[in-house]
């Protein structure tokens, strides 16, 4: 009997666990380890952040779901990986620290035959002084709890606007190397929408503050799309949305520090600026969660297993090369660690070989460039591919049998721009491939027959349908396996 351990139970980890349970649980053991007791459909946190949904609408208890399956769930935080075991036993194991009430802090070693690292990111608010809801002056929608706090503060702003006060709202990224601009993009339009619904939009100045070189970059180096029979770029598409809604924008910006009511930022030209605000939601940069790795003699081999960012190295080409020499072929396909064949990393947990957007530095040498997005649909595709490979390797395959390269997969995104059954809207976009391939598609790097975008009420209905569909699927209700990931 083989034991497969999954570290993390977000979109990537839970997807892998569901499929492994489907294929292997009758004869093998699946263990899921997560410090969080609840699963969170993160794409809908933006609606929690404007009061359209509650925490309960976007989360559920993992223990309750796994109790109905043959998945062994541990509410614990992964501390270290020991891929060679130790001097007493050659069996690999992971050391975890319990976060379960009543046993917090207790350590446990859990051995494995295969390990999937799906820990996701550390929300690195500390990278920017004064950033974040816990020790800073800004709010967040990265977790359901954060989003609830964001809405509480936002509603206080709405009350002030209704009294005729003027307020400045700043939404975007809180560091020059942030990813996940999409969440901030959705949030700013939903804030704009609820202010219009409340009849107070005229009293609010709304500013988009981002590390993107151009609007619509989203860490993907921008995009060209087909719309209404014409080819346009993401910059034009994003600018038109902001102009239509009276949203100002500041791009090519690195937030240096946040004080109460004041953002200090640097732009690519090396100039330092200040921006006053009354309410601000800024996405933090991501880093690895801090996992360590040790060999059989207890020597620290973390630098061999993890990149400097803390994300795990996989079958990517990490050779340092100039931007002009980067290739779609650099990106991983199997997500297998090159040193230990029974070790995989998926979702945000794997280390990208390089940026997708062109690397930029300010005149002062400060990096200001979006990191590659690796969430949502790509995470699920990686999870399923790795689960299939492990299934086949247990059956006798000598190497991974399935691939899910971001340079060979497309992604669909439905970005909410206002939640209302009759007056809502969403931007629906597809991109293929996610990582541009200029050898195959020399003009734009992508197949424009499969890369397009539209915005309208139908998109909101689709976003709402997907919200309910994916939560139903994640709860492993009857027929879940028939639904698309």
Interhelix angle 181-197/234-245, rounded to 10 degrees, is 20
Is the separation of the CB atoms in 384 and 19 below 8 Å? yes
Please provide the size of the chain in residues.
485
Burial zone of 56 (CB within 10 Å; 0-12 exposed, 13-18 middle, 19+ buried): exposed
- The reported pLDDT for the residue numbered 216 is 93
Report the pLDDT value the prediction gives residue 311, as an integer from 0 to 100. Answer: 98
Local confidence band at 230 (pLDDT 50, 70, 90 cut-offs): confident
- The per-residue pLDDT for range 376-421, each reduced to its tens digit, is 899 999 999 999 999 999 999 999 999 999 999 999 999 999 999 9
* Sign of the four-CA dihedral 348, 353, 354, 357: negative
Only one residue has tokens 């839970």, namely 14
CB count, 10 Å around CB of 452? 18
pLDDT of residue 171: 98
Residues 205, 157 contacting (CB under 8 angstroms): no
What is the average per-residue pLDDT within 17-38? 97
SS (H, E, C) 91-104: CCEEEEEECCCCCC
The pLDDT tens digits for 236-255 are 989 999 999 999 999 999 99
What number is the average pLDDT over the span 416-434? 96
Where does the pLDDT of residue 485 fall: very low under 50, low under 70, confident under 90, or very high at 90 and above?
A: confident
Q: Which domains does the chain carry?
A: 3-123+287-394 (3.50.50.100)
Mean pLDDT, residues 351-374 = 97
What pLDDT digit, counting tens, does each position of 162-183 carry? Answer: 999 999 999 999 999 999 899 9
- 53 φ, ψ (degrees, to nearest 5): -135, 165
The pLDDT value recorded for residue 476 is 97
**CA-CA distance, 173 to 193, in Å (whole number)?**
20
Q: Taking residues 275-298, what's their average pLDDT? A: 98
Q: Write out pLDDT tens, residues 448-458.
A: 999 988 899 99
Q: Please say if the pLDDT value at position 225 is more than 90.
A: no
Do 95 and 82 form a contact (C-beta atoms < 8 A)? yes
- pLDDT, the chain, mean: 97
What pLDDT is stored for residue 184 in this prediction? Answer: 98
Q: Are 142 and 46 in contact (CB under 8 A)?
A: no
The pLDDT value given to residue 332? 98
What pLDDT sits at residue 226?
74
For residue 89, what are its two tokens? 């036993």
**Tens-digit pLDDT profile for residues 82-124:** 999 999 999 999 999 999 999 999 999 999 999 999 999 999 9
* pLDDT at position 29: 98
**Rounded Cα–Cα distance for residues 444 and 194 (Å):** 36
What is the per-residue burial (b if ≥16 Cβ within 10 Å, else e) of 76-107?
bbbebbbbbebeeeeebbbbbbbbeeeeeeee
Question: How far is Cα 336 from Cα 346, in angstroms, rounded to an integer?
Answer: 9
- Using CA atoms, how far apart are residues 119 and 310, in angstroms rounded to an integer? 11
Give me 459's structure tokens: 């998109």
- pLDDT score for 413: 92
The rounded distance, in Å, linking the Cα atoms of 302 and 292 is: 5
CA atoms within 13 A on the CB side of 85: 9
Overall pTM surpassing 0.85 (yes/no):
yes
């Amino acid at each position: 009997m083989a034991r497969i351990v999954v570290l993390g139970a977000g979109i990537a980890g839970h997807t892998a666990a569901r499929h492994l349970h489907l294929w292997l649980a009758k004869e093998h053991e699946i263990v899921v380890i997560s410090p969080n007791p609840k699963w969170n459909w993160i794409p809908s946190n933006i609606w929690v952040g404007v009061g359209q949904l509650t925490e309960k609408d976007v989360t559920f208890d993992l223990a309750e779901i796994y109790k109905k399956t043959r998945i062994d769930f541990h509410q614990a935080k992964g501390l270290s990986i020991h891929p060679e075991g130790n001097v007493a036993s050659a069996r690999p194991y992971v050391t975890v620290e319990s976060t379960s009430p009543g046993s917090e802090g207790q350590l446990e070693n859990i051995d494995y035959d295969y390990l999937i690292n799906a820990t996701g990111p550390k929300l690195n608010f500390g990278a920017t002084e004064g950033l974040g809801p816990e020790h800073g002056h800004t709010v967040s929608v990265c977790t359901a709890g954060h989003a609830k706090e964001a809405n509480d503060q936002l509603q206080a702003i709405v009350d002030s606007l209704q009294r005729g006060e003027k307020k400045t709202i700043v939404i975007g990224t809180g560091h020059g190397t942030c990813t996940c601009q999409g969440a901030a993009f959705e949030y700013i339009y939903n804030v704009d929408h609820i202010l219009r619904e409340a009849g107070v939009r005229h009293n609010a100045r709304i500013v988009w503050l981002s590390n993107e070189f151009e609007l619509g970059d989203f860490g993907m180096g921008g995009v060209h799309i087909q719309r209404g029979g014409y080819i346009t770029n993401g910059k034009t598409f994003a600018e038109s949305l902001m102009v239509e809604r009276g949203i100002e924008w500041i791009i090519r910006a690195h937030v240096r520090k946040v004080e109460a009511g004041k953002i200090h930022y640097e732009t690519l030209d090396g100039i330092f600026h200040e921006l006053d605000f009354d309410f601000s939601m800024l996405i933090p940069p991501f880093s690895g969660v801090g996992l360590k790795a040790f060999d059989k003699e207890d020597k620290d081999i973390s630098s061999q297993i993890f990149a400097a960012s803390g994300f795990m190295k996989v079958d990517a080409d990490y050779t340092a090369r100039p931007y002009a020499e980067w290739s779609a072929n650099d990106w991983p396909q199997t997500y297998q660690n090159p040193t230990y064949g029974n070790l995989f990393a998926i979702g945000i947990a794997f280390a990208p070989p390089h940026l997708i957007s062109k690397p930029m530095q300010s005149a002062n040498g400060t990096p200001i460039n979006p990191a590659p997005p690796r969430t949502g649909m790509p995470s699920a595709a990686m999870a399923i591919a790795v689960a299939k490979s492990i299934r086949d390797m247990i059956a006798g395959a000598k190497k991974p049998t399935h691939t899910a390269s971001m340079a060979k997969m497309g992604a669909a995104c439905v970005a909410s721009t206002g939640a209302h059954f009759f007056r809502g809207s969403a931007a629906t976009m597809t991109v293929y491939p996610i990582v541009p391939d200029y050898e195959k598609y020399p003009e734009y790097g992508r197949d424009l027959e499969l890369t397009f975008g539209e915005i309208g009420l139908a998109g909101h209905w689709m976003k709402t349908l997907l919200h309910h569909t994916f939560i139903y699927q994640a709860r492993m209700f009857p027929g879940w396996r028939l639904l698309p990931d």
